[in-house]
Amino acid sequence: MRKITWSLCKREWRRILFDPRLSSLILLVPFIYAFLFGGVYGAGSVKHIPIVIVDQDHSRLSREITTALGASESLSIYGTVNAPENFLPLVRQEAAYACVVIPEHFERDVLGGRKAKVAVIQDGSNLLAGNVSSRAINSVLMTYRVGISAEELSYGGMTAKAAASAALPIEPVLRAPFNPAFNFSLFILMGLICIVAQQVIRMGSSISLLLDEVDELWSGLDEPAPSVGTVFIAKVVATAALVLPMACVAIVIPFALFGNPLRGSGALLFTVLTIYMFTQIFIGYGYSSFFRSPVGVTQLHLFMSPILFVLSGFTWPAYAMPHWLRPIAYCTPAFHMNSVLRKVALDGAGPGLLRTHLLALLAYLLISVPWAYYAVWKQLARTERAGFPLRRARAVWMRS
């Protein structure tokens, strides 16, 4: 039994490693994507967003505000225009993403104790860039507002310290302990790599099973006919031995090369990743039971990939989805894996806090095993003409 399993394992490795498409799909693609995504999000946050200034005041204060905006790391001054209308073509040409309008008599109004308005027009079509530029502009203007307010109060006879407190009576102190700099790389990189690894493993396993021919299975094996169970175990072990190291290295890339923190236990992460990758192999086999050709199953995986990423709650949180969609999101294995990944890496959570997600992942593992077993049995049954003792396979299946 052990000898047959080992022979089948070797055969499976030969099949995957000598098929350049399968081997590159399973073993190379996750790395390529990990480096590509790391390269895109490596900077962490959007910096130097081009903005335009409409300075209708031409005063010392307006020039000071313009300089302060230009000094912000998140912003860069693309140029000045005469009127806000001139901003629209610049947005449409992707030349500028925000416009700060400092109106006429701005300084005079501020000095005269009258309300002075600064208009900020944003390109709201890209929320990521919009959020960053809006926060940076607000923070610069807030500094000036508090400064001016305190200065005026001190003219009214208040001490400088009391004036400063009165100008900002309730100071909101924002802290984001799990992602202090709102780093986009910390937020998305691990989830993306995990989804890519999931998809290529599913796709690779499905294609690998559907391309397998039983007649070929017998060549080179001097042993008696293996049972479906032996074939199943050999295939899973062989595939896992190839994909697990790949998945582990791909997941380590954000921590090792792109500065993502790992605050929790690496051993816990590895254990969960192992369970998850085995589940993906089983699910990959399972899907192939619906198809006769590897093209069909590849297409299914392709179309499911973006939807699974969205439903995993990694970007759009599950609690913000419509009620009827939430159970579907919770039933997605990627939802639990991504939650564990993010919480272990960023929050430093331990197994006690992740009990629900860990139980869900174990449940998927248990459910997916019979499904994958059925797929392997079905694939073997398809090739009855090759002389595989189906009666025996069926008996094994019934017994199990």
Partner 1 sequence: MTNTVLRIAMREWKWILENHRKFYLVLVAPLVCVAILGFVYSPKKVMGVPVLIVDQDHSALSRELSRAILASETFSLGGYSDSSEEFPALVAQDRVHLCLIFPHNLEKDVRARREAKVQVILDASNILSGNAQAMSASNVLATFAVGVEVRTIEGETGIPGALAVNHAMPIETGMRAWFNPGFSSNYLNFLMIGLLTIYVQLAGLVVSAGAGVHEYRETRGNALAALTRNPWAFVAGKVLAYVAVIYPISMIVVYMPHLFFGAPMRGSQVTLALVTLWFTAMLVTVGYALSCVLADELFATEICALITLPNFLLSGFTWPIFAMPPLLRGLAYGLPMYSYSFIYRKLSVMGASAEDCLRQMTILSLWTVLAALFARYGTKQIVKANREVEHAHA
Number of residues that bind partner 1 (CB under 8 A): 120
Nearer to partner 1, 110 or 201 (CB): 110
Q: How far is the CB of 273 from partner 1 (least distance, A)?
A: 18
Q: How far is the CB of 361 from partner 1 (least distance, A)?
A: 15
| Least Cβ distance, residue 222 to partner 1 (angstroms) | 32
Residue that is written with structure tokens 């998140």 in the block: 74
Q: Which two tokens stand for residue 341?
A: 């990944």
Site for partner 1 in 156-185 (CB under 8 A): 156-158, 162, 164-180, 182, 184
The yes or no reply on residue 18 touching partner 1 (CB under 8 A) is no
Of these, 196, 228, 236, 393, which contacts partner 1 (CB under 8 A)?
196
* Residue 391 interacts with partner 1 (CB under 8 A): yes or no: no
CB under 8 Å to 43, separation ≥6 — which residues? 185
| 320 belongs to the binding site for partner 1 (CB under 8 A) | yes
* The binder of partner 1 chosen from 145, 362, 367, 383 (CB under 8 A): 145
> Is 208:15 a contact under the CB 8 Å cutoff?
yes
CB of 130 to partner 1, least distance (A): 6
Among the candidate windows 154-162, 214-222, 239-247, 374-382, which touches partner 1 by CB under 8 A?
Answer: 154-162
* Four-CA torsion 354, 359, 365, 368, nearest 10 degrees: -120
Beta-carbon contacts of 285 under 8 Å, excluding residues fewer than 6 positions away, are 205, 206, 209, 235, 236, 371, 372, 375, 376
Q: Is 129 in the site for partner 1 (CB under 8 A)?
A: yes
Question: Minimum distance between the CB of residue 350 and partner 1, rounded to whole angstroms?
Answer: 8
Residue with tokens 């709201």: 124
Q: Which of residues 55-74 bind partner 1 (CB under 8 A)?
A: none
> Which residues are CB-contacts of 146 (< 8 A; sequence separation ≥ 6)?
164, 167, 168
- Give me the DSSP letters along 253-279: HHHHHS-----S-HHHHHHHHHHHHHH
Q: Is 196 or 214 the residue whose CB approaches partner 1 more closely?
A: 196
Contact between 254 and 260 under an 8 Å Cβ cutoff? The reply is yes
Which residue lies nearer to partner 1 by CB, 320 or 398? 320
- Binding-residue pattern over the window 350 to 369 for partner 1, x denoting contact by CB under 8 A: ---xx-x-------------
Shortest Cβ 349–partner 1 spacing (Å): 4
CB of 229 to partner 1, least distance (A): 29
* Distance (Å, whole) CA 397 – CA 400: 5
Residue among 54, 110, 250, 269 that touches partner 1 (CB under 8 A): 110
Give the number of other Cβ atoms within 10 Å of residue 145's Cβ.
16
State the sign of the Cα–Cα–Cα–Cα dihedral 151, 152, 155, 159: negative
